[in-house]
């Protein structure tokens, strides 16, 4: 993800801060962000240190559609 919202496009999905649900233990607030679906990769769960939050249902659908567009499966 990136906070450089000018990067948004058909497959780089704009995620308004309202669509990002902060975890109770995460102290910072969220900014509008962009899901960089063209830069997906595998990440070992052990490398994750702090749970920041989650995406709303509509944000998950938007990211899924961006991935479908990127991989030409629509």
- Count structural domains, the chain: 1
Q: The pTM is what? A: 0.78
49 Cβ neighbours under 8 A, 6+ residues apart: none
User: Please, which pLDDT band fits residue 33 given cuts at 50, 70 and 90?
Assistant: very high
User: Please, which pLDDT band fits residue 7 given cuts at 50, 70 and 90?
Assistant: confident
According to the model, what pLDDT value does residue 41 have? 85
According to the model, what pLDDT value does residue 29 have? 86
What is the span of the domain harbouring residue 17? 5-70
């Amino acid at each position: 993800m990136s906070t450089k919202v000018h990067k948004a496009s058909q497959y780089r999905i704009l995620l308004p801060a309202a669509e990002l649900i902060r975890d109770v233990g995460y102290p910072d607030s969220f900014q509008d962000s962009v899901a960089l679906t063209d830069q997906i990769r595998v990440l070992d769960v052990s490398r994750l240190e702090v749970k920041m939050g989650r995406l709303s249902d509509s944000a998950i659908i938007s990211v899924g559609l961006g991935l479908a567009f990127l991989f030409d499966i629509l």
